[in-house]
């Protein structure tokens, strides 16, 4: 099952993170969390890992709509967007909310997930 929308980028990792944050902001998403996986694995486990950042993106309007429709939907928020390096190549990948929220048995959430997914795909495509 495809659960992410991914694209290879032709730029450095740092530039990709910077541009991803900018495109998310342009689309109305704030980045609530940023997890540097490489640094965390090094400091907690003394493990070397590729450059890898998880951005917890949230569009307040859509988050509010989803919370009004389904109180427990917060366990699936925010929408994660990752930027990582693999064998010298840089990728960006956004969660597909329709898949992530597919287990929620509330039809009011479906159109919200579809709208957010379209927005996240546009962000990825713009990079």
User: Tell me, what CATH number does 60's domain have?
Assistant: 3.30.310.70
Give pTM, 2 decimals: 0.95
Count of domains for the chain: 1
Residues whose CB is less than 8 angstroms from the CB of residue 99 and which lie 6 or more positions away in sequence, other chains included: 1, 2, 3
> Alpha carbon of 30 to those of 46, 81, 109, 114: distances in Å?
31, 12, 20, 19
pLDDT of residue 2: 93
Whole-number pLDDT of residue 126? 98
Per-residue pLDDT of the chain (127 residues), as tens digits, is 799 999 999 999 999 999 999 999 999 999 999 999 999 999 999 999 999 999 999 999 999 999 999 999 999 999 999 999 999 999 999 999 999 998 899 999 999 999 999 999 999 999 9
Give the structural domain span for 53: 4-126
The answer to whether the bond into 81 is cis (omega within 30° of 0) is no
| Phi, psi of 82, deg, nearest 5 | -115, 150
Beta pairing partners, 30: 58
Concatenated DSSP letters for 18-87? HHHHHHHHHTT-EEEEEEEHHHHHHHHH------EEEEEEE-HHHHHHHHHH-GGGGGG-SEEEEEEEET
| pLDDT given for residue 103 in this prediction | 87
């Amino acid at each position: 099952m495809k659960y992410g929308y991914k694209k290879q980028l032709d730029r450095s990792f740092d530039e990709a993170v910077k541009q991803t944050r900018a495109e998310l902001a342009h689309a109305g998403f704030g980045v609530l969390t940023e997890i540097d996986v490489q640094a965390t694995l090094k400091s907690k486990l003394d493990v070397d890992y590729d450059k890898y950042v998880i951005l917890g993106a949230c569009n307040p309007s859509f988050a509010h709509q989803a919370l009004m429709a389904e109180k427990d939907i917060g366990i699936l928020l925010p929408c994660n967007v990752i930027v990582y390096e693999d064998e010298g190549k840089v990728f960006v990948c956004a969660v597909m909310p329709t898949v992530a929220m597919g287990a929620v048995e509330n039809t009011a959430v479906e159109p919200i997930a579809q709208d957010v997914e379209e927005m996240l795909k546009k962000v990825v495509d713009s990079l």
